[in-house]
């Protein structure tokens, strides 16, 4: 599975149109001749930005969990991903 | 499937002949750093309260910028250099995308097509194991599963303290041929990592994780069989057992005419078996693409050469030197060569004038098992006190323990306890006669030809007089009983 997008009934056509548009655009890009163009991983002209190994204060547990839909005993609570055995 | 230890499926090898085991290793190692890979959160300890070493960056909140940790990059480069890898001039980070709750961003920052290093090797017991690559990435969080099977009400709890902790991934080519070799490879790798100071590499603490890729094929075949990857291995012993189990499982499948499924399998320490970890949620297509938030790294040659020059003597070189310079036997070299602290202690004590073989004996027999190291100076002094006959070995053992505890010199401690060795024959003769009188049965046994009876007599003699020179005392007993 590559993505999981929740859709309300009736929305399918709306999103199908958008996704098709994106795919068509990708197809258009595929037609460009990129033969002599080197692969570009970055467009900014900076390199080798490293950070010294200095610990800095973290968030508190309360802050870390503040936006979580659900939390239990200091942990994020999520639906099970465990397979039934 | 049936248990591989069962006999029902065990068929004799078919016309293909003997099976050959083929193992490649992926080893994840946590470099020695104080902070995480891309943010300043401290590296926590096992057992810390959940989600107390997290920030906007490692929680994957929107709008944050990850910045690589220089110490982690250096540890990775040193490891690559120690493994004889090529270091390219350009390297970059990539996003490896997959959906799993232990990965808050929905991707792991790793390295894909331009890793930090490639094409190295590690010599393990005379076999050259090729290293495909060593690259840097970040660890994921930890999940705890809980719930009620009956009501199918399962949920998982996520602790992100580990998320973003730096990891080096060391990938070997499939050059290992047995569980023994795979374990020895992992141990040698740990020795190397500790020697160069790149990692503590404690498997039990999760600082080193070994994931063997295992397949089998008929000997002589040049094609690789279908492989499985094993995870959840927490010790060298578990690594060895998991491979033995998996090889046997694959043999039984193939000999029964079944096929091996390419998959990830987990090792269960409790059940001592591997089990399938296939998950329908898990995509095999990671959709790697360059990490747009981290500029590429240009690996400056002067920096690389500095790191290379800064490497200490590597374990293989050290072992060769221990043999060449000191003619130490294999057993001593195996112990002393595997631990940088022991090797430094050996070198220091020998430099301080103690005889090499005796220093090695003391390190192998006393220091290494205790795990507590005296200073090189004190060990040298102790060895000299024994070798010049000033104190006995038994006395020296006690002195060593006290010297390690207090840091005081062996000569001081020996003098304080009045330790000395008595080699005077007339004094020892009286003692030997007393021992024979007190142990008539042992004495009679010895005279009757039971040579082992001497051990009991010597034990009693040393109990009565720890300071007695055992060699002289033994000769006297032999003479008196002869």
Distance (Å, whole) CA B52 – CA A59: 7
Between B40, B68, B155, which is nearest A50 by CB? Answer: B68
**Inside any domain, residue B12:** no
Which chain B residue has the Cα nearest residue A79?
B155
B414-424: average pLDDT = 80
Does the CB of B407 have a partner CB in chain A at under 8 Å? no
Distances (CA, A) of A25 to A2, A21, A34: 20, 6, 16
| Mutation site, B39, B41, B50, interface A, largest A CB count within 10 A | B50
Give how many domains chain B has, as a whole number: 3
Q: How many degrees, rounded to 5, is the angle at CA A65 between CA A63 and CA A67?
A: 95
**Inside any domain, residue B6:** no
Least confident interval from B90-94, B182-186, B195-199, B460-464: B460-464
Instruction: Give the residue carrying structure tokens 């006690």.
Output: B398
φ and ψ at residue B102, rounded to 5 degrees:
-80, 0
Strand order in the sheet with B94-97: B107-110, B94-97, B289-290
Q: Is the pLDDT of residue A84 over 50?
A: no
Q: Is the pLDDT of residue B461 over 70?
A: yes
Q: Annotate B90-116 with b (16+ C-beta within 10 A) or e (fewer).
A: ebbbbbbbbebbbbbbebbbbbbebbb
Model confidence at B147, in pLDDT bands (50, 70, 90)? confident
Q: Is the pLDDT of residue B3 over 60?
A: no
Same domain for B368 and B460? no
Question: Which residue in B251, B127, B242 sits closest to B179, CA to CA?
Answer: B242
Distance (Å, whole) CA B73 – CA B118: 15
Same domain for B101 and B215? yes
Distance (Å, whole) CA B196 – CA B84: 13
Residue A51, beta-bridge partner list? B69
Distance (Å, whole) CA B407 – CA A34: 71
Model confidence at B15, in pLDDT bands (50, 70, 90)? low
Q: Annotate B190-220 with b (16+ C-beta within 10 A) or e (fewer).
A: bbbbbbbebbebebeeebbbbbbbbbbbbee
B394-403: average pLDDT = 91
- Chain A hits for B156, Cβ within 8 Å: 77-82
Distances (CA, A) of B327 to B168, B218, B330, B363: 36, 42, 9, 16
The average confidence (pLDDT) of chain B is 90
Q: Is the pLDDT of residue B152 over 70?
A: no
Residues near B235 by beta carbon (within 8 Å), at least 6 away in sequence: B203, B204
Same domain for B231 and B373? no
Neighbours of B344 (CB within 10 A): 16
Whether the CA torsion B35, B40, B45, B46 is positive or negative: it is: negative
Distances (CA, A) of B382 to B186, B240, B385: 35, 39, 5
Distances (CA, A) of B129 to A57, B34, B181, B194: 42, 31, 10, 19
Contact at CB, A42 and B292, closer than 8 angstroms: yes
Q: Annotate B60-74 with b (16+ C-beta within 10 A) or e (fewer).
A: beeebebbbbbbbbb
Chain-centre distance of CA B385, in angstroms? 34
DSSP 8-state code for residue B137: E
**Inside any domain, residue B258:** yes
**Inside any domain, residue B48:** yes
Same domain for B460 and B365? no
Question: Which residue in B383, B312, B386 sits closest to B353, CA to CA?
Answer: B383
pLDDT score at B11: 43
Same domain for B360 and B431? no
Note whether B68 and B37 are within 8 A (CB).
yes
DSSP percent split of chain A into helix, strand, coil, nearest 5: 30, 10, 60
Same domain for B333 and B297? no
Contact at CB, A73 and B101, closer than 8 angstroms: no
Does the CB of B347 have a partner CB in chain A at under 8 Å? no
> In the structure encoding, which two tokens stand for residue A39, read together?
């692969």
Determine the length of chain A.
85
Same domain for B247 and B215? yes
Q: How many degrees, rounded to 5, is the angle at CA B248 between CA B247 and CA B250?
A: 65
| Mutation site, A4, A55, A67, A84, interface B, largest B CB count within 10 A | A55
- Smallest Cα distance from A17 to chain B, Å: 23
CATH number for the domain including B444? 1.10.10
Q: At CB < 8 Å, which residues of chain A contact B? A: 1-4, 41-42, 44, 46-61, 64-65, 72-84
Same domain for B410 and B439? no
Contact at CB, A1 and B72, closer than 8 angstroms: no
Distance (Å, whole) CA B403 – CA B410: 6
Instruction: Give the residue carrying structure tokens 């079944």.
Output: B258
Using a pLDDT cut of 90, give the percent of chain A over it: 54
- Chain B hits for A77, Cβ within 8 Å: 155-158
Same domain for B148 and B283? yes
B293-302: average pLDDT = 94
A37-54: average pLDDT = 85
> What pLDDT, in 10s, does the model give residues B340-385?
899 999 999 999 999 999 999 999 999 999 989 999 999 999 999 9
Distance (Å, whole) CA B34 – CA B110: 20
Chain-centre distance of CA B398, in angstroms? 30
Which chain A residue has the Cα nearest residue B295?
A47
Between A3, A60, A82, which is nearest B156 by CB? Answer: A82
B325-335: average pLDDT = 93
Which chain A residue has the Cα nearest residue B91?
A48
Which of B241, B271, B303 terminates a domain? The answer is: B303
Specify the higher pLDDT residue, B152 or B92: B92
Contact at CB, B160 and A81, closer than 8 angstroms: no
**Inside any domain, residue B11:** no
Between B40, B73, B143, which is nearest A56 by CB? Answer: B40
Query: Which DSSP string corresponds to B40-56?
Result: -PBP--TTPPTTSS--T
Does the CB of B101 have a partner CB in chain A at under 8 Å? yes
DSSP 8-state code for residue B260: P
**Inside any domain, residue B202:** yes
pLDDT score at B278: 66
| Mutation site, B41, B295, B300, B301, interface A, largest A CB count within 10 A | B295
Does the CB of B69 have a partner CB in chain A at under 8 Å? yes
Which of B277, B303, B329 terminates a domain? The answer is: B303
- Residue B249, SS3 per DSSP: helix
Mark which residues 154-213 of B lie under 8 Å from A by CB: 154-160
pLDDT score at B162: 97
**Inside any domain, residue B330:** yes
Residue B20: exposed, middle, or buried by beta-carbon count in 10 A (0-12, 13-18, 19+)? middle
| Mutation site, A38, A39, A45, A50, interface B, largest B CB count within 10 A | A50
Which of B247, B277, B303 terminates a domain? The answer is: B303
Domain around B127: 19-303
Distance (Å, whole) CA B25 – CA B238: 14
Between A41, A65, A82, which is nearest B51 by CB? Answer: A65
Same domain for B103 and B214? yes
**Residue B156: enclosing H or E segment and its boundaries?**
strand B153-159
**Inside any domain, residue B45:** yes
Q: How many degrees, rounded to 5, is the angle at CA B149 between CA B144 and CA B153?
A: 70
Q: Is the pLDDT of residue A38 over 90?
A: no
DSSP 8-state code for residue B373: P
Same domain for B362 and B444? no
Residue B128, beta-bridge partner list? B123
Distance (Å, whole) CA A80 – CA B145: 7
Question: Which residue in A75, A43, A59, A62 sits closest to B39, CA to CA?
Answer: A59
Distance (Å, whole) CA B222 – CA B141: 40
Contact at CB, A80 and B154, closer than 8 angstroms: yes
- Chain B hits for A4, Cβ within 8 Å: 99
Same domain for B93 and B217? yes
Contact at CB, A80 and B92, closer than 8 angstroms: no
Q: Is the pLDDT of residue B7 over 50?
A: no
Q: Is the pLDDT of residue B242 over 50?
A: yes
Specify the higher pLDDT residue, B424 or B50: B50
> What pLDDT, in 10s, does the model give residues A68-81?
999 999 999 998 76
Distances (CA, A) of B57 to A57, B54, B105, B177, B276: 12, 8, 9, 42, 33
- Chain B hits for A65, Cβ within 8 Å: 51
> In the structure encoding, which two tokens stand for residue B207, read together?
């600082």
- Smallest Cα distance from B225 to chain A, Å: 27
ipTM above 0.85, yes or no: no
């Amino acid at each position: 599975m590559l993505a999981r997008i929740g859709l309300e009934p009736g929305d399918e056509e709306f999103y199908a149109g958008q996704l098709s548009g994106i795919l068509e655009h990708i197809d258009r890009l595929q037609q460009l001749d990129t033969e002599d163009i080197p692969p570009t991983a970055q467009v900014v002209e900076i390199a080798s930005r490293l950070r010294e190994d200095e610990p800095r204060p973290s968030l508190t547990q309360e802050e870390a969990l503040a936006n979580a839909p659900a939390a239990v005993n200091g942990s994020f609570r999520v639906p099970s991903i465990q397979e039934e055995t | 499937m049936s248990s591989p230890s069962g006999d029902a499926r065990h068929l004799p090898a078919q016309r293909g002949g003997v099976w050959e085991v083929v193992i490649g290793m992926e080893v994840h190692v946590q470099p020695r750093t104080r902070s995480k890979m891309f943010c300043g959160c401290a590296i926590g300890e096992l057992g810390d309260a959940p989600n107390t070493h997290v920030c906007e960056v490692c929680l994957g909140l929107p709008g944050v910028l990850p910045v690589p940790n220089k110490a982690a990059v250096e540890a990775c480069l040193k490891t690559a250099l120690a493994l004889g890898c090529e270091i390219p001039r350009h390297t970059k980070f990539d996003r490896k995308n997959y959906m799993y709750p232990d990965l808050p961003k929905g991707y792991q920052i790793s390295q894909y097509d331009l890793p930090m290093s490639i094409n190295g090797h590690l010599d393990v017991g005379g076999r050259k194991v090729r290293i495909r690559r060593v690259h840097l990435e970040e660890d994921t969080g930890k999940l705890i599963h809980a719930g009620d099977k009956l009501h199918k009400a399962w949920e998982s709890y996520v602790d992100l303290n580990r998320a973003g902790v730096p990891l080096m991934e060391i990938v070997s080519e499939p050059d290992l041929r047995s569980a023994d070799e795979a374990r020895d490879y992992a141990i040698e790798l740990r020795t190397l990592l500790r020697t160069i100071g790149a990692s503590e590499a404690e498997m039990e603490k999760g600082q080193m994780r070994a994931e063997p890729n295992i397949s089998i094929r008929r000997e002589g075949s040049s094609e690789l069989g279908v492989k499985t990857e094993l995870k959840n291995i927490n010790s060298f012993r578990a690594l060895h057992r998991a491979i033995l189990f998996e090889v046997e499982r694959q043999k039984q499948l193939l000999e029964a005419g079944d096929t091996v499924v390419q998959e990830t399998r987990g090792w269960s320490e409790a059940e001592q078996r591997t089990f399938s970890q296939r998950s329908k949620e898990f995509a095999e297509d990671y959709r790697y693409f360059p990490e747009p938030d981290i500029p590429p790294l240009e690996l400056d040659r002067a920096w690389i050469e500095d790191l290379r020059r800064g490497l200490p003597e590597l374990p293989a070189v050290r072992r060769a030197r221990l043999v060449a310079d000191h003619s130490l036997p294999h057993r001593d070299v195996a112990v002393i060569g595997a631990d940088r602290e022991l090797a430094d202690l050996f070198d220091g004590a020998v430099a301080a004038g103690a005889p090499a073989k005796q220093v090695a004996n003391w390190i192998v027999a006393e220091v290494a098992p205790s795990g507590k190291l005296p200073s090189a100076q004190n060990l040298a002094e102790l060895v000299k006190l024994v070798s010049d006959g000033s104190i006995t070995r038994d006395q020296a053992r006690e002195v060593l323990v006290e010297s390690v505890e207090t840091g005081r010199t062996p000569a001081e401690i020996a003098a304080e306890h009045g330790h000395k060795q008595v080699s005077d024959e007339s004094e020892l003769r009286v003692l030997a006669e007393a021992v024979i009188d007190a142990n008539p049965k042992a004495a009679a046994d010895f005279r009757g030809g039971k040579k082992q009876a001497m051990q009991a007599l010597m034990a009693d003699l040393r109990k009565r007089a720890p300071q007695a020179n055992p060699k002289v005392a033994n000769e006297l007993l032999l003479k008196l009983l002869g």
